[in-house]
């Protein structure tokens, strides 16, 4: 595919029989994913004139029925996210973007049918995806020029690879990771917990769905870092570096820190093309000891209260008197 589409000015020109699309970019760049769900990579290009083009990654031809036309400028990359519901077969991706007409568009990649949300504000930043309010559904985050941050819940279940937390996903990746390529920490490992032993396990999975002819994108250079905040006086960064040749599940042993603190485990992966992927989760160390202290205080109080209730004086009984009986 000709990368001349990254140049300025929106022109279509015929050069040696190839159609070259030139679009104007300011902040908005292309994003990559299988938009229509046919198994082939597509490139999504928003333009200042308000059009969203989808180009075939194989030959740069237009993927129909795109382009989709919004009624305002598009000033940010288009988020590509799988919004299929639970138990629903994934058909393609949903294109999510804000336009300067004040709407947020959710465009189905296979049909180009859109749902719009009236925000009434404009935005220069990409719509992001993450699970911010807990639960297990994916949320969409829109920040606007008026200074508002909107969070929209979706009916789609959350998966770490569906997250899109910054426009370049940490470094240099503009491709949708879910069902494509990435690394994530398993649900059991990432659930919030306290670690007390000498070591703990991190279970992660390297996903690589690239097929023939490109084949797998390995070897995968995986760096796992345990970050602890300043109150820990030992070695602040515990780093384990490993190179895997195949995708799949991996387990890794990390040492716990000897003090009561919080920590974050950051898993980073660089594939053979230098593309960067990351995932992270937080946990605590030795907090149960602290919880025990709480019970040490509360249990005697509860016991005393119970004794007082059982041994309370019968109603109508005279108060004990310590005055001398003079009769």
Residue 36 or 163 with smaller CB distance to Ca ion: 36
Alpha-helical runs (H) found in 76-207: 187-190
Minimum separation from the CB atom of position 129 to Ca ion (A):
10
Site string for Ca ion, 16-55 (x = CB under 5 A): ------------------x-x-x-x-x-------------
Q: Which stretch binds Ca ion (CB under 5 A): 126-134, 144-152, 167-175, 212-220?
A: 126-134
Q: Which of 35, 313, 300, 64 is nearest to 175 (CA)?
A: 35
Residue 88 or 136 with smaller CB distance to Ca ion: 136
163: contact with Ca ion by CB under 5 A: no
- Rounded to an integer, what distance in angstroms lies between the CA atom of residue 13 and that of residue 23? 12
139: contact with Ca ion by CB under 5 A: yes
Minimum separation from the CB atom of position 76 to Ca ion (A):
22
**Alpha carbon distances (Å) from 173 to 7, 79, 101, 182, 278:** 19, 12, 28, 10, 10
Q: Within 13 Å and on the Cβ side, how many CA atoms surround 153?
A: 6
Q: Which stretch binds Ca ion (CB under 5 A): 9-17, 24-32, 130-138, 264-272?
A: 130-138
133: contact with Ca ion by CB under 5 A: yes
**Alpha carbon distances (Å) from 52 to 28, 118, 153, 285:** 11, 19, 24, 48
All residues at 6 or more sequence positions from 141 whose CB lies less than 8 Å from its CB, including other chains: 127, 128, 129, 130, 132, 149, 150, 151, 152
Bond into 213 cis (ω within 30): yes
Selected from 76, 94, 125, 131, the binder of Ca ion by CB under 5 A is 131
Selected from 137, 194, 203, 205, the binder of Ca ion by CB under 5 A is 137
Backbone angles phi, psi at 105, to 5 degrees: -105, 135
Chain positions 55 to 74 lying near Ca ion, rule: CB under 5 A, are: none
How many residues of this chain bind Ca ion (CB under 5 A)? Answer: 10
Residue 40 or 171 with smaller CB distance to Ca ion: 40
Residue 43 or 270 with smaller CB distance to Ca ion: 43
Q: Which stretch binds Ca ion (CB under 5 A): 5-13, 139-147, 228-236, 258-266?
A: 139-147
Minimum separation from the CB atom of position 66 to Ca ion (A):
11
Which helix (H) or strand (E) segment holds residue 288: the answer is helix 288-310
Any bridge partners for residue 226, and if so which? 238, 265
Selected from 18, 24, 61, 135, the binder of Ca ion by CB under 5 A is 135
By CB under 5 A, name the binding residues for Ca ion: 34, 36, 38, 40, 42, 131, 133, 135, 137, 139
């Amino acid at each position: 595919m000709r990368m001349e589409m990254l140049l300025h000015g929106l022109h279509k020109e015929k050069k040696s029989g190839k159609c070259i699309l030139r679009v104007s970019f300011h902040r908005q760049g292309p994003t990559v994913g299988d938009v229509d769900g046919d198994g082939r990579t597509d490139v999504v290009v928003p333009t200042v004139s308000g059009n969203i083009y989808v180009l075939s990654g194989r030959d740069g031809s237009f993927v129909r029925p795109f382009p989709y036309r919004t009624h305002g400028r598009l000033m940010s990359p288009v988020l590509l996210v799988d919004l299929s519901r639970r138990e629903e077969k994934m058909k393609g991706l949903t294109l999510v973007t804000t336009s300067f007409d004040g709407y947020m568009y959710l465009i189905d990649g296979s049909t180009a049918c859109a749902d719009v949300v009236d925000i009434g504000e404009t935005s220069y930043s990409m719509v992001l995806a993450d699970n911010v309010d807990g639960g297990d559904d994916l949320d969409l985050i829109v920040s606007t020029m008026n200074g508002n941050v909107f969070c929209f819940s979706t009916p789609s279940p959350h998966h770490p690879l569906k997250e899109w937390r910054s426009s370049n996903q940490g470094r240099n990746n503009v491709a949708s990771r879910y069902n494509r390529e990435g690394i994530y920490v398993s649900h059991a490992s990432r659930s919030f917990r306290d670690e007390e032993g000498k070591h703990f396990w991190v279970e992660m999975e390297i996903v690589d769905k690239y097929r023939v002819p490109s084949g797998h994108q390995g070897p995968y250079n995986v760096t796992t870092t345990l970050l602890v905040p300043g109150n820990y006086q030992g070695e602040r960064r515990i780093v384990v570096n490993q190179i895997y040749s195949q995708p799949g599940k991996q387990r890794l042993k990390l040492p716990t820190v000897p003090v009561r603190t919080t920590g974050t485990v950051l898993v980073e992966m660089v594939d053979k093309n230098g593309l960067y992927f990351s995932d992270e989760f937080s946990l605590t160390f030795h907090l149960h000891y602290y919880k025990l202290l709480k019970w040490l205080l509360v249990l005697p109080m509860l016991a005393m209260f119970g004794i007082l209730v059982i041994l309370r004086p019968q109603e109508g009984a005279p108060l004990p008197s310590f005055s001398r009986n003079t009769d």
